[in-house]
């Protein structure tokens, strides 16, 4: 029996939910179909937002010979067979799901046939094609990013679905709840609606019924995909931006995914990259929080992690340390090195030992002669760095 999501697969672009920037009248894919001309393309975006739907709508509207394949399931021999079919028919639209998982050998097989137009490729991927897909394939395809569906889009899809479920009765509360629960994934919403429908005798779907079946929101978070890194990126940027509520939101998403290792690694970067010398005591406190989280495990790990994230978000920030080391590395990459000053060499009798002098400091040159005037560290205006700089100047008897 065909599932509801497949029954509702759009036959025309007009049936596609959302993605108006691509399929609405006057937009690029709409115009391609209107002009009866389709080029190889890659559609990318989160799960359940219409990649496969758009691909099917294109081939159905234009009545094109098409073959649906999966980069995960189909092997090299399957792709060889598809190429033979394409040669026989003169042209074949090859719709390949999970395209980012297609290894380089398989991608290379397709290259000449995409080049000469024997195969029109429609690659579907949840991953950023600029990161995951062979540049040679990429250069032969138009790349279209699909946008996230909002709650109204999901409601529109569910309303269409009701026509395929005889005698269905669903409360507005339940409809809104499913739409919100789906977090932009229409396929999830349709599957949940169908399960609810067949879980009742009277076909009446209430909020209580939906919560009984599924009360946990879905969100795009796969450790092997871009969504995972998007959440980590938002997590770091929220802490850097001192938005404590957003920081906790993204921490909660990472905790919900059970991804403690990524939390530990990213927090360890943030504490030194973004907080740095403005609050140097946070590094050890973070390690203590990580050790506590490891000791107690989930769900209690959320407590020390939540506390340290609040402290990090509210802490003063400074990136002077990362800027300093990057500037020093940049000199190395440019070849700005020079010889170690002779008085610093291992066997030199001319080295002056600072600890023999007041304040454990004595003036002498340390940088190579050709970069002696280079300054890498530029203090930021915060209490800790101001005090460090003041002490440093006093030590050198400077005003």
Please work out, in degrees rounded to the nearest 5, the angle formed at the alpha carbon of residue 255 by the alpha carbons of 254 and 258.
Answer: 95
Is residue 240 classed exposed, middle or buried when 0-12, 13-18 and 19+ CB atoms within 10 A define those classes?
middle
Looking at residue 2, its pLDDT comes to 66
Residue 72 or residue 352, greater confidence: 352
Residue 399 has pLDDT above 70, yes or no: no
Percent of the chain with pLDDT over 70: 94
Regarding pTM above 0.95, the answer is no
Q: For the chain, what is the mean pLDDT?
A: 87
Whether 220 and 191 have beta carbons less than 8 Å apart is answered as no
pLDDT-based confidence at residue 304 (cuts at 50, 70, 90): very high
Ordered DSSP codes for 240-279: HTT-HHHHHHHHHHHHHTT-HHHHHHHHHHHIIIIIGGGS
Tell me what the mean pLDDT of segment 378-393 comes to. Answer: 84
pLDDT digits (tens, 9 = 90+) for 30-44: 999 999 988 999 998
Partners of 169 in the beta sheet?
A: 204
Tell me what the mean pLDDT of segment 364-392 comes to. Answer: 87
pLDDT digits (tens, 9 = 90+) for 224-244: 455 677 888 899 999 999 999
pLDDT digits (tens, 9 = 90+) for 159-207: 888 888 888 988 888 888 888 888 788 888 898 899 998 888 888 888 8
Looking at residue 321, its pLDDT comes to 93
Ordered DSSP codes for 81-106: HHHHHHHHHS-EEEEEETGGGS-HHH
pLDDT digits (tens, 9 = 90+) for 309-362: 999 999 999 999 999 999 999 988 888 888 899 999 988 999 999 999 888 888
Looking at residue 398, its pLDDT comes to 52
Whether 195 and 213 have beta carbons less than 8 Å apart is answered as yes
Lowest mean pLDDT among 125-134, 220-229, 299-308, 328-337: 220-229
Neighbours of 79 (CB within 10 A): 23
Looking at residue 227, its pLDDT comes to 63
Looking at residue 355, its pLDDT comes to 93
pLDDT-based confidence at residue 11 (cuts at 50, 70, 90): confident
- Orientation angle between helical segments 302-314 and 226-240, nearest 10 degrees: 50
Whether 154 and 186 have beta carbons less than 8 Å apart is answered as yes
């Amino acid at each position: 029996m065909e599932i509801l999501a497949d029954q509702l697969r759009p036959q025309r672009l007009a049936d596609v939910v959302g993605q108006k920037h691509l399929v609405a009248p006057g937009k690029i894919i709409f115009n391609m179909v209107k002009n009866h001309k389709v080029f190889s393309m890659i559609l990318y975006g989160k799960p359940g937002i219409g990649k496969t739907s758009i691909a099917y709508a294109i081939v159905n509207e234009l009545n094109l010979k098409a073959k649906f394949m999966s980069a995960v399931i189909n092997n090299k021999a399957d792709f060889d067979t598809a190429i033979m079919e394409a040669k026989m028919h003169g042209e074949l639209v090859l719709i390949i799901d999970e395209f980012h998982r297609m290894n380089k050998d398989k991608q290379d097989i397709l290259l000449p046939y995409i080049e000469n137009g024997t195969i029109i490729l429609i690659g579907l991927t949840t991953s950023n094609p600029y990161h995951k897909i062979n540049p040679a394939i990429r250069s032969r395809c138009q790349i279209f990013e699909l946008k996230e569906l909002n709650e109204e889009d999901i409601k529109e899809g569910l309303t269409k679905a009701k026509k395929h479920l005889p005698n269905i009765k669903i409360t507005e509360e339940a409809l809104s709840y499913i739409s919100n629960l789906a977090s932009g994934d229409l396929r999830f919403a349709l599957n949940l609606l169908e399960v609810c429908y067949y879980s009742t005798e009277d076909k009446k779907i209430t909020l209580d019924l939906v919560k009984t079946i599924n009360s946990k929101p879905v969100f795009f978070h796969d450790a092997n995909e871009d969504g995972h890194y998007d959440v980590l990126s938002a997590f770091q940027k929220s802490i850097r931006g001192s938005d404590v509520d957003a920081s906790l939101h993204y921490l909660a998403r990472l905790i919900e995914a059970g991804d403690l290792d990524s939390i530990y690694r990213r927090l360890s970067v943030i504490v030194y990259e973004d907080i740095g010398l403005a609050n140097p005591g946070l590094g050890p406190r973070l390690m203590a929080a990580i050790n506590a989280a490891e000791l107690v495990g989930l769900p209690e790990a959320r407590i020390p992690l939540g506390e340290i994230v609040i402290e990090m978000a509210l802490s003063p920030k400074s990136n002077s340390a990362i800027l300093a080391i990057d500037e020093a590395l940049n000199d190395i990459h440019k070849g700005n090195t020079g010889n170690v000053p002779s008085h610093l060499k291992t066997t030199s009798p001319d080295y002056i030992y600072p600890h023999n002098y007041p304040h454990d400091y004595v003036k002498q040159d340390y940088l190579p002669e050709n970069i002696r005037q280079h300054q890498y560290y530029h203090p930021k205006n915060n209490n800790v760095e101001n005090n460090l700089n003041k002490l440093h100047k006093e030590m050198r008897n400077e005003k």
